[in-house]
Amino acid sequence: MQIDFSEKLKKLPPYLFIEIDKKKKQAKDQGVDVIDLGVGDPDIPTPDHIVEAANKAMRILDNQRYPFGVGLLEFRQAVADWYKKRFKVTLDPATEVVALAGSKEGIYHIHDAFVDPNDDVLVPEPGYPVYANGTVFAGGQNYFMPLKKENNFLPDLQAIPAAVAKKAALLFINYPNNPTAACTDKKLFEKVVKFAQRYNIIVCHDAAYSEMYYDGEKPASFLEVDGAKEVGIEFHSLSKTYCMTGWRIGWACGNAKVLQGLAKVKENVDSGVFQAVQYAGIAALTGDQECVDKMRKVFQERRDIFVGGLWKLNWKVDKPKASFYVWAEVPPRYTSMLCSSKLLEQAGIVATPGIGFGPSGEGYIRFALTQDKKLLQEALQRIEKIKWQK
């Protein structure tokens, strides 16, 4: 029998990190001692008190059954309380919070709720691949908003043609940003609210890195801005904040009607987040936040070591104020793909070529600081020895 993938599936590029993982495995098989700075997956274990909460919850019969729905009210209340404390934003846990099996899941499914064929989706590039790939599955069209260094890696809303904006169903933004590590103040959010009101576009702000900030500079929530809750939602993840990537838990919050749409898609696709994992989430959000401080300290130290080291080697790179990514300009006469191959072949270092996040990522390479400082120092020593073509 002939087995054909759907046209939608054929349209999708191979998922970036799966491809990088393949290359990494090949290098390992050839005996290379690989230092993986590729995928943004914290190497720090989930704090004990969170694991313990899940451990306890797992033994309770109720938690072993279908969770169904938008999440335990207790989890959504924990989110609302955390939000109030962190951003001074009030959320109604009954209608303005939906639990997600990781924010990636919600970012994907929001398209199914609001994107019809021929609708546009406004997507930043370089960017997290799911914003655009979700559009392809929903049958819509992506309009890419380039993030350029000269604009501090913020989208230029004025450059979006009115005809595109009129057909747009969703607009994605993401600060602190992956992959550029750029941050924004509330001015961008204010502009986005006005733009969304003018063209009737639902705003989706991905705040996965809101807690991974340095030097005490706390990023703002999109929902802090006047009018934001009328036009959009914010995605959050426990993955990076509490080192819980494997657990699959996050949430979306904000506009109740938008969340209703997302919840309806989810009712038809999944049956909710494992309740023991939701209890772990409650423990994370309501427990001692010292573990988050510790996490920030670890990554800040690594950032200082790694960026400082790259500066000494004359790399052009800014010190990130948030996220655990270093977005560095590639050496002259290199494309991002060639730079990434060179790093792997001559130094055994896995890093992600900027082009993988979109055409405006060309000229950059992304290092994820997901190895301890000794290995980062080792990586720097290996980078020093690379013979770049002049």
Ligand X SMILES: *Cc1c(COP(=O)(O)O)cnc(C)c1O
> Which residues contact ligand X by CB under 6 A?
40, 102-104, 128, 174, 178, 206, 208, 237, 239-240, 245, 250
Residue 50 CB, nearest approach to ligand X (Å): 15
Q: Of the two residues 196 and 208, which places its CB atom closer to ligand X in the complex?
A: 208
Q: Of the two residues 104 and 111, which places its CB atom closer to ligand X in the complex?
A: 104
Q: Determine phi and psi for 48, rounding to 5 degrees.
A: -55, -45
Q: Of the two residues 118 and 152, which places its CB atom closer to ligand X in the complex?
A: 152
Q: Which of 173, 180, 148, 126 is nearest to 320 (CA)?
A: 180
Residue 220 CB, nearest approach to ligand X (Å): 16
Residues 316 and 296: their CA atoms lie apart, in Å, by 24
- Residue count of the chain, please give it: 390
Q: Of the two residues 128 and 306, which places its CB atom closer to ligand X in the complex?
A: 128
Residues 22 and 329: their CA atoms lie apart, in Å, by 24
Q: Of the two residues 93 and 281, which places its CB atom closer to ligand X in the complex?
A: 281
E-only strand ranges, the chain: 35-36, 97-100, 120-125, 141-146, 168-174, 202-206, 232-237, 250-254, 325-329, 349-350, 352-353, 364-368
Q: 3-state secondary structure string, 85-117?
A: HHHCCCCCCCCCEEEECCHHHHHHHHHHHHCCC
Q: Of the two residues 250 and 331, which places its CB atom closer to ligand X in the complex?
A: 250
Residue 239 CB, nearest approach to ligand X (Å): 3
Are 169 and 122 a contacting pair, CB within 8 Å?
A: no
Residues 14 and 73: their CA atoms lie apart, in Å, by 38
